[in-house]
A and B are shown apart, each in its own frame.
Chain A
Amino acid sequence: MWSALSTAALGHLGLAGAALLAAAALGVPLGAAAATLPALRPAVLATAGIGRTLPSVAVLMLLLPLLGVGASPAIVALTLLAIPPLVINVDLAIRGVPPAVLDAADGMGMTRAQRFVRVVVPLAFPLAFAGLRVAATETIASATLATFVGAGGLGDLIVRGLQTNDTAALYAGAGSVAALALGADLALGGIGRLLEART
């Protein structure tokens, strides 16, 4: 039981972690683009809003003809799920930087790049990072669906519990998903505070 649980939990974290990294790589620049290019903002935010409402299980099944079965459709579906909270929060965070602060930076003779790195990023960081925490918990909870496409994870234990009426497996799977999501949220909260203190 323990080895099955740890294998499933590691696989689960692997899927969610890969998706989260990919989502951060895509979502943060997209959010920054939405915040700085007003022409782009409505389209990007509308797409993100729709992306949040799509049921992940449907996205997963729609990806099968393109990506086959296994880890890749699972990671892509989870990435698509994790991008919207990042885009929305990064956009809000950057646009939330007070204009007076930006004017002051300009007045101090900062270039655009200097202003972005030394003023905008530190001020926008807490809200943007909160988007990552939301994305992380959503991704970890949704990675249970990976079991349907042969990508493993804790969903394996949940499905085993359902198929064979094995409540121990069901509780072990569901409890671990909840614990991982909670743990990731707390860990990211800690990391966020450390980074905030440094910036």
Chain B
Amino acid sequence: MITRARALAVLGSSALLTACGGGARVRIGSKNFTESIVIAEIYAQALERAGIAVERRFNLGSTQIAMAAIERGDIDCYPEYTGTALLDVLHLPPQRDPQAIYRAVAAAYASRYRLVWLQPSPMNDSQGLVTTKAVAAAQHLATLSDAAKAAPRLRLATIQEFLVRADGLPGLQKAYGGFHFASVRTYDIALKYRALLQGNADVASAFTTDGAIESDELVVLRDDRHFWPAYNVAPVVRASTLAARPAMRAALDAIAPAITDRAAQRMNAAVESGKMDPSDVAAAFLAEVR
């Protein structure tokens, strides 16, 4: 299946090269974590299949770096999350309705940055706190309210970003009160689950489509006060690029509905277990969508 899809992708791109003699390529960017790279790769291959030449500029670091790159025109398109754009880029107040968030960020990006949000996917990579089944049972943790109260007995494993972002620990403390952990240690993004599973921490911050939280041993605590907004993923494209290549819209809109929570979790797990490359995972995904 993978080889067939790859062969198709290669055929598509080579057909295009002969057709246009190699015009300006659409530069696709991504941030520096698995899911962003996999989804950027899906966008890249979907465009290649539609006969649009692309160049991959992945692994651009944080939201701010990806945003600076697209504003400067160093990239033309990258996958972004609606909730991240709302809180972390635009610094707008949190909202509950996913569609309202999408409309708000799409309008603000169009007027402020001349960037277009294409159709969002159903996948919602929200944030959460996870714990192990053993800790949940011992400390009676089911919701974030429980964790806010129990925090002085709990050790948090997280990443630096979570400690300063408005949709991280500071916001959580404001929304729930409490949440003053016994200790806070930060890790590489992929290592915080290891800290949790090895008993070096009791609670870890998580992205809800992380492959690791599919594990039977982990429990996601319920966000009972609905602190976190929706983080639907969508392609953000420079308006000028889209005007020059209007076919991009149809190609990317066609695959958007298929990127669901379940699909994202499976793809992230396949890459993080070391079994598959992002490009193979994306090719397999597109072969199934067709």
Contacts and interface: CB of A to CB of B under 8 A. Distances in A.
A50 to B, nearest CB: 26
Given A150-B191, A164-B62, A159 B186 contact: yes
Contact of A69 (B62, B64, B163, B200): B200
Interface residues of A, number: 17
B164 A149 contact: no
B262 interface: no
Given A69-B195, A163-B160, A164-B165, A150 B64 contact: no
Interface in B56-113: 61-62, 64-65, 68
B163 A160 contact: yes
15 contacts: A69-B187, A69-B200, A70-B200, A148-B188, A149-B188, A150-B186, A152-B186, A159-B186, A160-B160, A160-B161, A162-B61, A162-B62, A163-B61, A164-B62, A164-B165
A156 interface: yes
**Chain A, interface SS category:** helix
B159 interface: yes
B191 A69 contact: yes
Task: Point out which of B61, B68, B194 has the most chain A C-beta atoms below 10 A from its C-beta.
Answer: B194
Indicate the member of B161, B186, B192, B200 with the most A CB atoms within 10 Å. Answer: B186
B198 to A, nearest CB: 5
B157 A150 contact: yes
Q: Which of B157, B160, B201 has the most CB of A within 10 A?
A: B160
Contacts, number: 62
A147 interface: yes
B185 interface: yes
Nearest to A145: B188
B274 to A, nearest CB: 13
Contacts of A164: 62, 64, 160-161, 164-165
A73 B157 CA distance: 17
Nearest to A147: B186
B187 A148 contact: yes
Given A69-B200, A164-B160, A165-B68, 12 more contacts: A69-B187, A69-B194, A69-B195, A70-B195, A147-B186, A148-B191, A149-B187, A159-B160, A159-B186, A160-B161, A163-B161, A164-B64
B51 to A, nearest CB: 36
A166 interface: yes
A101 interface: no
Interface in A24-46: none
Contacts of B61: 162-163
Contacts of A150: 157, 185-187, 191-192, 195, 200-201
